[in-house]
Structures are given as structure tokens and as C-alpha cells.
Amino acid sequence: MRRSHSGQASVLLIALLGSMVACFAVAYSAGQLVNDKMRLVNAADAAAYSAATWQARSLNFQSYMNRAIVANEVALAQLVSLRSWSRYVTTATSNGSRVAQYIPPLAGPIRALAQGWQSIDATLQATLPAMEASLSSWNVAVLANAQSVAHQQASIVAADLVGEVARRNEPRAQVTNATRLLEARNAAEWQNRFTDRYRRGGGDLRRFSTLLMDSRDGFTRSRRANLPVPVPLVDIAKRGGTDLLAEKSWRGVDTLSAHIDLLLTSVEIPIGWGAAEQQSVPVTQRGQHGGSLSRNPAASRLALRALRPFRTYSGLPEIRDIITPSRRDDRTLRYAVALSMPATSIATADRLLMPAGLRSPDGAVHSTAPDLAGDALHALGTAEVYFRRPQPRADGRQEFPSLFNPYWHVRMVDVSSEERALTAPLRGLSVDPFSVTP
């Protein structure tokens, strides 16, 4: 008997179509996962770069504050120097006027010069101390405090930027416990392991004192001259300078003395002297003052004896700088970000075609969703803050990182194995496979 075989090809066609649909679903789901993974990685990179950029800008801002503090301290020292030098000119012209009264042709002009300069000196001594006090107060109350606020707020703003930038780049990106863990580590690095505030009396702030002394201009540093005298064995020496003493005082001393060489000894005859000082508390420390105390000791004693310090100086500001600035190595600061995207927000084929799962002949429901760690996609991004001059130094020397030059920049770097291992448990992994591979 002949039997009908019609319909057998339909079974094969249905099986083939089912296989093709399954392959298409797998390919579609894989494409969606890869695309969303890339979007999440880009969001994590953008968030890390933005947060690190804010930290770099904060370091540059603090560098500008330090430079402004240096400029104001040097300006204050210049004003003290001018008052000291003016007082010295006053005593020198007054003493010259007393001597010139016995020389009729010179008596009138020198007396007029002495009286005129006394008026100028009175004006300078009355007006400059207020300017000095304003500069010092501005350094301590405004610039140093602005630097401190910028440092304290940087880690908070950077953490806020992570969430904001991540959402702007990928609305489905979420901040998770892994993100918070890295934020805590980032904040600890920023607050405790990168920069520090140097207190008065500490070794690193004394380095700042040395920097200020080196930053003085020629007039502030040394007012030195040897006046030619057409008399044998007689030398007239002008000495003067302004020094920072014990981080609490700017003191200037100016002297002019005639030295008569008597072969076995010499005699000093003070001609002019003057001193000025801005201090926060009395200071017993002595400075060099351009060699005034060593070359013209008698005139220096007269200057210091007549000195009436102003106590409106706020002291050397407590600045921020790199921790252990004497180290000669590159300093970098990493900022790592972890983000996640829940699987329910990924439009894979199973979400579109079989959201309730696949029911087997025995009645059990099986999920066709991809198996993701922690039921989400995860991404890590890391940026690095580093110090580099835009151009090499003219003297060819290498400049190491500090908070005195605003040369802090940002670059993306590879995620470290330590960052992967640290966040692995919070990303649903017992061990991150990338953190253990070389």
C-alpha cells in the first residue's frame, strides 16, 4: 500500500526556523550587552576623568593661592624695608645737619634736606604699617582660608560629579556600594596621603620661610654699599637688609658708619641708622640684615634700641603643599569609579520576546536572560592627576611636583588589579578574573 509522506518538510522547516530565531535572539542579546557595556564603560571613564579634573583644578587653585601669599609677603617685606631705610635717611640727614652747621655753605641745603625728609618719613611711618597689616591679614584670613576650603571641598564635589556625569552619559548607570567604596578610598588618598597643611614651627613650614627669603628683591635682601672716601685708613660702609624671623616677624635694619683703621684695632663712628619691624609676638632671634649687625654693630645697636615694632603682623600663613616636599619623585593621584547597569534595564531578546521566561513540557518556567554577575553590568574607570610643566625649564633642570606651580593635569590610566580586587565582592564576584591575570 502506498502511504502519504506530505508534511515532513514542514517539521524540518519549523525546526530550522526555530534555530534561526534562537541564533538571532542570542546575537541580538549579545549585541545589546556589548553596546550597553561600552556605554557604561564610557560613562565610568567620563565620571573618573571629570572628578580627577576637579581635583587637578583644586591643586592648581591652591598653587595660585600659595603664589599670591608669597607675593604679598614679599610686598610686606618691601614696605618694612622702605620704612627702615626712610628712618635711616632721617637720622643720617639729621646728623649731617648738625655737622654742616659749622660749614656755612652746606648748612642751609642739608638742613632743608633733613627737614624735608623728616616730613616724608613721618608720612611713611604713619601710612605703611596699615598697608602691611592689610597684606598680612589678607594672606591669613582670605588666601590661606580659601586654600583650605578648596582642599576640603574638592573630594565632596568630585564625588557629586561622579553621579552627575555618569547620569548625563548613561541615564541607566547607577551608583552602587562599589562606587561608595572607591569614593571613600579616593577621599582618603586626597585628604591624608597627598597634601598636608604645614603648621607654624614645623620643618616644612621653615622650608616656606626659606622660599620667602629667597624670593626677596634686591632692595629687600641687601642694601649694601661702600662709599669712597679720599682719606686713608677711613672706610664708610652702608649695610642693611630685611629678614623674616621665626615665622613671626619681618625686621629691617639700615646703618651707615665710618670705620677708622688704627692698625691694631678700628673705631666705628655711626652716621645714620634706622630699623622697622612688623611682628605678631616679640621675637628674640637676630637676623643678618645685609651684614649690618656684623659690619656696623654700633650703629645696629642704636637702630634696634630706637626700634618700635608694630604688632599687626598675623604671622606666616599655614599653607598647604605636597606631603614631604623634599622627596624627589613624581607624585600622582588616582581617582577610580565603579558603575553598574541593572539587567532589567537592558533590552535583550528575552526581555522583548519572553519576559515571563520559557515554560518546559513539565510545567517549569526557565529564564532565558543572560547570567550576569550581581544581575547587572559593571564597569570601572580610573583617571590620574599628575604634574608636568607645559614646557621644559630653561635651565634644563627637572621640576618636581609642588603646590607652588599650577601645572597639574589629568589623564586616563588602566584600572589596577588592586581596584578590581577591592570592588569584586560588591560586583557579585568572589574573584575578579582580570585582577589575577598578569
Give me the amino acid identity at 44. A
Q: For the chain, how big is the Rg over CA atoms in Å?
A: 38
Judge contact between 89 and 204, C-beta under 8 A: no
DSSP code, position 310: B
C-alpha cell at 381: 574607570
Question: What does the pLDDT read at residue 229?
Answer: 80
211-to-69, 78, 326, 384 alpha-carbon distances in Å: 12, 16, 13, 29
Q: Collapsing DSSP states into helix, strand and coil, what is residue 196?
A: strand
303 membership: H or E segment, kind and range: helix 297-305
Determine the longest span between alpha carbons in the chain, in angstroms: 160
Please answer whether residues 81 and 223 qualify as being in contact, where contact means their C-beta atoms are separated by less than 8 angstroms. Answer: yes
Residue 3 has a pLDDT of 59
Output the nine-digit C-alpha cell for 438. 598578569
The answer to whether 295 touches 238, Cβ cutoff 8 Å, is no
Q: What integer pLDDT is reported at residue 206 of this predicted model?
A: 85
353: Cβ contacts below 8 Å, ≥ 6 apart: 25
CA distance 102 to 118: 21
Element at 251 (helix H, strand E)? strand 249-261
How many of the other CB atoms lie within 10 Å of CB of 13? 10
Helix axes 8-100, 104-137, angle to 10 degrees: 150
- What contacts 117, CB < 8 A, 6 or more positions away? 86, 89, 90, 93
The pLDDT of residue 199 is 86
Domain positions in the chain are 26-198+320-356+366-438
Q: pLDDT in tens for each of the 438 residues of the chain?
A: 555 555 666 666 666 665 666 666 667 677 778 888 899 999 999 999 999 999 999 999 999 999 999 999 999 999 999 999 999 999 999 998 888 787 878 778 888 888 999 999 999 999 999 999 999 999 999 999 999 999 999 999 999 999 999 999 999 999 999 999 999 999 999 998 899 998 887 777 888 999 999 999 999 999 999 888 877 888 999 999 999 999 999 999 999 999 998 877 889 999 999 999 999 999 989 999 999 999 999 999 999 999 999 999 999 999 999 998 888 888 999 999 999 999 888 877 666 655 555 454 555 544 555 677 788 889 999 999 999 998 988 898 888 999 999 999 999 999 998 999 999 888 888 777 766 655
Residue 380 near residue 418 (C-beta atoms within 8 A): no
The Cα–Cα gap between 199 and 275 comes to: 29
Phi and psi torsions of 144, nearest 5°? -65, -40
The β-bridge partners of 334 are 384
Dist CA 149 CA 158 (whole Å)? 14
Phi, psi values for residue 196, rounded to 5°: -150, 155
260 - beta bridge partners?
234, 267
Q: How many Å apart are CA 420 and CA 422, to the nearest integer? A: 5
Residue 65 DSSP SS3? helix
Exposed, middle or buried, 210 (CB in 10 Å: 0-12/13-18/19+)? exposed
